[in-house]
Structure 1
Amino acid sequence: MAADSGSAWPALSIEDANRKLAEPGTPLAVSEGVIDGISMKYYPEAPPTIRFLAEASALHGDRDFLVYEHERASFLAHLKAVSHLAHALKDQFGIAKGDRVAIIMRNYPQWSVAFFAALSVGAIATPMNSWWTGEELEYGLQNSGAKLAIVDPQIYERIREHVDQLPELDSIIIARETEEERNHPGVYNLEDIIGETNDWAGLEPRSLPDVEIAPDDDATLMYTSGTTGKPKGALATHRAVISNFLNSMTCQARMYLRRGEALPEPDPDVQRATLLSIPFFHATGAFAILIPTLLRGDKIICMYKWDADKALPIIEKEKVTTIGGVPAIAWQVLEHPDRDKYDLSSIEVVSYGGAPSAPELVSTIKKRFPEAAPGNGWGMTETCATVTLNIGEDYVHRPDSAGAPPLAVDLKIVGPDGKTLPPGEVGELWCKSPSNCKSYWNRPDATAETFRDGWVVTGDLARLDEEGFLYLVDRAKDMLIRGGENIYSIEVESALYDHPAVMDAAVVGIPHKVLGEEVGAIVQLKPGKTVSEDELRAHVASQLAAFKVPVEIKFQSEPLPRNANGKILKPELRNRFKPRD
């Protein structure tokens, strides 16, 4: 895109900015090499392992790292707890390199300690969805072959009756235990090992256990958030997880070069704070927020569960600089009726991903927080979260794009015949990146479908423009076919979002005897706003062809149902519509 009339922006093209940031010897340098038998680009200057990052976090000293209600843990206190637990994992519980350690709890400070402790002894950290039922948790523990599970009391109550079906699960450690005594064989109390959060600072300093870990050793087993079928465990290496935040850092640094500005020097006196609204067990929570925050020396404020009413006073008190998660959460803060009662001026970034976002969201952010940088991106569990990031002026100019990839990432659009399509054409998105996972755990069939010679076959329908900006069109499985015509649900959802009364929207297919499917929509309205079904249908009709206009729209005041990772549960929504003749 050309610069605005009378403006010097952009000072550099995407291609030139990417190449400048990737020059040899720089922190974001990119080289070509062979990783696990596959030729690809990678970051040669990347930190070698996640264990290395944990050790380096000592440099941030007594700064707050994790805040949860009345509990605070500094970087040094957190590292002490990590080291003490790591020694216990190795010496007391016999955890060896490659063993799976399941981590299943809410966003408590103990989640982070368990995660880094497992990784520091060479184990495969295996986060699981804390929303899962006992049966689902049994599946995850059985599928992963976890030797140890670190859980909170609520999770323990869900899995205790399933333990007999898990012969490989040797031990369970309960964090934040409230029972006086469990007296169950193989069940232990985390506080007996590391104490409570506010006590971690008083632990004796200990070095991490002596374990050899290499960049391409297995690090994490992160379960997908599919809304249908059994979740699959995506296996990633230390290199892949670390490459995720280097992808993100490149996109952020590129914003300054596009403006014609020098890259800012880190200010040791400035600490930024993220209000965490998504689970740590999600790839974004663990890979795109927790690990980069540890590296930068910033702060994470956790909540028991996301609640916009409680978020506003927290933003004011903790001087939160970054909010977001999925677009619906950003909207809840922007449109909250009590927003003006609190000082939210500390907010610098409103970022989101994981779900389609309305272009109107960008302009609303700029209106509410003129100094804040809106940001949107694309990634998935199989790519260890962030692949592209669209921020700053690029996002303002292309509010419907998920951004352009950094130099280390290759994207291509593939047609039904397997051939690469030219810019502007819609097909299936494929991604090749050093941040890609390597396989699905114990699923060779699914691995062969998704992981092909370094590429992840995403299942997303998308297009790329001439400069490489990514535009998501739909999930392949969410595309509607009405009388032989393809209808991309995101296109219809964007038209719904464009109405000033709409906060959130989801489009699904309604079975039709003759046409196959027709368009249905469920809409959440903004507080205090009203619109009729006919008015909203007319609004969509003013932008899209008649066959794309929803034949039926259902309204609700509460948020749309989503899984823990922010994806709308469309199968549940489809059940709200009756088939049509």
Structure 2
Amino acid sequence: MPGMGMQVRVGTLAPVPTGRYCDDPVNYTPREHARMTANDQVQAQLTAPGQLFEMEEVEVAGNTIRAWKHAPATFRALLEMSRFHGEKLFVVYEDERLTFEEHFRLAATLAHRLIGDYGVRKGDRVAVAMRNYPEWVIAMSAALAAGAVAVPLNAWWTRQEMEYGLADSGAKLVIADGERAERLSGSGVPMIVTRAADANWSEVMGEVRSDVTLPDVEIGPDDPATIFYTSGTTGRSKGALGSHRNLGQAPMTVAYALMSAVARAGKDPAEAAAVRRITLLTVPLFHTTGCFAVLMPTFFTGGQLVLMYKWDPQRALELIEREKVTTMSGVPTNAWQLLSHPSFGEHDISSLTSVSYGGAPAPPKLLERITELLPKRTPGNGYGMTETTALAVYNSGAGYLAKPDSIGLPAAVLDVKICDPHGDEVPTGEVGELCIRGPIVILGYWNRPDATAETFVNGWLHTGDLARVDEEGFVYIVDRAKDMVIRGGENVYCAEVEAALFEHTAIDDAAVIGIPDDEMGEQVGAVVRLKPGSAATAEELQAFLRDRIAPFKVPIRFWFRETELPRNPGGKVLKTHLRKETLGL
């Protein structure tokens, strides 16, 4: 990748089987070579000794896994590497421009302030609560460089939800924009505020010297680095605890996904790697997609990141034209709204060469629209979770066109298996739970030993998603085992919304379901039964919920039911029956 000091090239090395690691792939016999698929050959060529994507075996928590040999060991190493990109533009926000060198100086300076003025020590939690401002990137970098555990909070959360995140993580400090600072006023946690009339950001930063270096803090690959909150199935969010190894391996995984897609298309990855990526970020940085699948790879490759105050397809078209954006990354909803906008044909977006998305199922109509309106652009669809530090499986180019219902192939450092309820692997083509193992799988859940033990078993992440794998290794998501609605890339756990509904005095019973939607993928709906003699309207329930949960979680439609909700013998609501009754699905 650009600026990394190594060349990516496609040679004629003998291939290795998918999921198999070998120090010397050239030792495979001609017969073995002949049996390998084109995908295996690409993997062998890109991961051969001396190549950027060379692999090695490492021990993590008592388990042996494959990892990218040349990945930064920690975020600190990644940050120091980014300084070599010098005066290249790194972050663009409206009319503000921030180079890699400027970012490094600001992040290093703030890291010293966190340690010296706020007493932040290695392992302390520092929360970041703000929109996609340049200060978000600086704050995140500074916290990690200081040895702290960065805790990005969902900027859409209510005060109650944010206070829970601060309390659960035990945050020593929060760095917030004006809106979030006002929301957290009186929380009792010390605060650094930016983008507000009473902001103390400039005062905290003080002088930013050109010769500043990072604080002298010893950080190892397996040290905790981040806590990203993912909605909990029991109504309380869980903190996904990521390591510095995860942060270093994640951008390499994204780079590998992109380069392998290029190689499978018969093109030279070296030429593709030489083209600087200018990415329009359409999702929040507090999401793993925004942080790990976009921001960290931009650090790694020396690309440019274009931020938006909030997602708006009209503004996106303007920014693509103005900044000569080459890549738009987000969730399927973003791509759908961009292509559907009335002024789509009025802007020069010829610089845009790829449209990638993940975080939610992509409707088949979206691929049709991309191939029709952007025929020379490369579509890409990825699969990942907070627990996999974002991208784990990727489908792009010819593979996506040939198998649009597949999420693609896992990265070379990852092992994937499909298991039955007992944890045993099922035969190829059969449906079971998708399990993933590799260097991007997180450490576990913050202060949740039971949930960690249930989800992470002998190094394997049990995703809760039902899937199958075909003979070529392509993965297909069949259904979600977890009770969840994915609205425009936002995970909405039904139990959380149901728990909030039950706080209303008129509610006797409630069940939340997903409503199919072309634009958002799904919308949130609720089937409710009121207590005898009680009354409530949909509008009243929506207003009630807005004070308790984030707006995107509030159901857009209610079905009022007089009879009991259908349940199985164990008392669980039969949501398949409800969907059939209410939606005909």
- The TM-score by the shorter chain falls in which range? 0.7 to 0.9
Match of 1:59 among 84, 91, 100: 84
Q: In structure 2, do the counterparts of structure 1 residues 207 and 477 end up closer, same or farther at CA, with 3 Å as the change threshold?
A: closer
Report the 3-state secondary structure (helix = DSSP H, G, I; strand = E; otherwise coil) of the residue aligned with 2:187: helix
Letter in structure 2 aligned against 1:192:
E
Match of 2:195 among 149, 165, 176: 176
1:189 aligns with 2:200: yes
Q: What's the offset of the Cα at 1:466?
A: 1.1
Report the 3-state secondary structure (helix = DSSP H, G, I; strand = E; otherwise coil) of the residue aligned with 1:292: helix
Letter in structure 2 aligned against 1:280:
L
Match of 1:19 among 39, 44, 47: 44
| Equivalence map 1:106-505=2 (5 Å) | 106-163=131-188, 169=189, 171-179=190-198, 189-194=200-205, 203-226=209-232, 229-265=235-271, 270-478=275-483
Q: In structure 2, do the counterparts of structure 1 residues 97 and 519 end up closer, same or farther at CA, with 3 Å as the change threshold?
A: closer
Q: What's the offset of the Cα at 1:366?
A: 2.1
1:572 aligns with 2:555: yes
Report the 3-state secondary structure (helix = DSSP H, G, I; strand = E; otherwise coil) of the residue aligned with 2:270: coil
Report the 3-state secondary structure (helix = DSSP H, G, I; strand = E; otherwise coil) of the residue aligned with 2:291: helix
Q: Which ranges of structure 2 fall in alignment gaps of 5 or more residues?
A: 1-35, 495-510, 521-544, 562-577
- Counterpart CA distance in 1 for 2:79 and 2:167 is 29
Q: What's the offset of the Cα at 1:567?
A: 13
Per the normalisation by structure 1, the TM-score is 0.78
Q: In structure 2, do the counterparts of structure 1 residues 575 and 424 end up closer, same or farther at CA, with 3 Å as the change threshold?
A: farther
Q: What's the offset of the Cα at 1:19?
A: 2.8
- Counterpart CA distance in 2 for 1:137 and 1:449 is 26
Partner in structure 2 of residue 72 of structure 1: 97
Report the 3-state secondary structure (helix = DSSP H, G, I; strand = E; otherwise coil) of the residue aligned with 1:92: helix
Letter in structure 2 aligned against 1:35:
V
Assess if the C-alpha contact under 8 Å between 2:294 and 2:329 holds in 1: no
Assess if the C-alpha contact under 8 Å between 2:282 and 2:330 holds in 1: yes
Letter in structure 1 aligned against 2:119:
G
Assess if the C-alpha contact under 8 Å between 1:18 and 1:250 holds in 2: no
- Counterpart CA distance in 1 for 2:296 and 2:468 is 30
Report the 3-state secondary structure (helix = DSSP H, G, I; strand = E; otherwise coil) of the residue aligned with 2:225: strand
Report the 3-state secondary structure (helix = DSSP H, G, I; strand = E; otherwise coil) of the residue aligned with 1:301: strand
The range that moved more, 104-113 or 307-316, is 307-316
Q: What's the offset of the Cα at 1:259?
A: 3.0
Q: What's the offset of the Cα at 1:301?
A: 1.3
Report the 3-state secondary structure (helix = DSSP H, G, I; strand = E; otherwise coil) of the residue aligned with 2:184: helix
- Counterpart CA distance in 2 for 1:189 and 1:286 is 25
Q: What's the offset of the Cα at 1:417?
A: 3.0
Assess if the C-alpha contact under 8 Å between 1:248 and 1:388 holds in 2: no
Partner in structure 1 of residue 4 of structure 2: none
- Counterpart CA distance in 1 for 2:245 and 2:160 is 33
- Counterpart CA distance in 2 for 1:387 and 1:24 is 22
Assess if the C-alpha contact under 8 Å between 1:354 and 1:567 holds in 2: no
Q: What's the offset of the Cα at 1:44?
A: 2.2
- Counterpart CA distance in 2 for 1:568 and 1:337 is 25
Report the 3-state secondary structure (helix = DSSP H, G, I; strand = E; otherwise coil) of the residue aligned with 1:459: strand
Letter in structure 2 aligned against 1:257:
A
Match of 2:126 among 101, 120, 133: 101
Assess if the C-alpha contact under 8 Å between 1:103 and 1:125 holds in 2: yes
- Counterpart CA distance in 2 for 1:240 and 1:518 is 34
Letter in structure 2 aligned against 1:452:
V
Report the 3-state secondary structure (helix = DSSP H, G, I; strand = E; otherwise coil) of the residue aligned with 2:555: helix
Letter in structure 2 aligned against 1:125:
A
- Counterpart CA distance in 2 for 1:477 and 1:103 is 28
Report the 3-state secondary structure (helix = DSSP H, G, I; strand = E; otherwise coil) of the residue aligned with 1:388: strand
Assess if the C-alpha contact under 8 Å between 1:355 and 1:567 holds in 2: no
- Counterpart CA distance in 1 for 2:423 and 2:470 is 19
Q: Which ranges of structure 1 fall in alignment gaps of 5 or more residues?
A: 1-10, 164-168, 180-187, 480-488, 494-505, 509-516, 527-560
- Counterpart CA distance in 2 for 1:522 and 1:256 is 33
Report the 3-state secondary structure (helix = DSSP H, G, I; strand = E; otherwise coil) of the residue aligned with 2:186: helix
Partner in structure 2 of residue 485 of structure 1: none
1:41 aligns with 2:52: no
Assess if the C-alpha contact under 8 Å between 2:74 and 2:219 holds in 1: yes
Q: In structure 2, do the counterparts of structure 1 residues 524 and 18 end up closer, same or farther at CA, with 3 Å as the change threshold?
A: closer
- Counterpart CA distance in 2 for 1:574 and 1:449 is 34
| 1:367-420 per-position Cα deviation (integer Å, ceiling 9, x unaligned) | 212221100010000110010111111111111111111221011111123221
CA RMSD of aligned residues (A): 3.2
Report the 3-state secondary structure (helix = DSSP H, G, I; strand = E; otherwise coil) of the residue aligned with 1:90: helix
Partner in structure 2 of residue 556 of structure 1: none
- Counterpart CA distance in 1 for 2:104 and 2:277 is 20
- Counterpart CA distance in 2 for 1:228 and 1:15 is 41
Letter in structure 1 aligned against 2:140:
F
Q: What's the offset of the Cα at 1:271?
A: 3.3
- Counterpart CA distance in 2 for 1:155 and 1:22 is 44
Report the 3-state secondary structure (helix = DSSP H, G, I; strand = E; otherwise coil) of the residue aligned with 1:382: helix
Assess if the C-alpha contact under 8 Å between 2:149 and 2:226 holds in 1: yes
Q: What's the offset of the Cα at 1:358?
A: 1.7
- Counterpart CA distance in 2 for 1:156 and 1:524 is 35
Assess if the C-alpha contact under 8 Å between 1:176 and 1:191 holds in 2: no
Corresponding residue pairs, total: 486
- Counterpart CA distance in 2 for 1:133 and 1:104 is 12
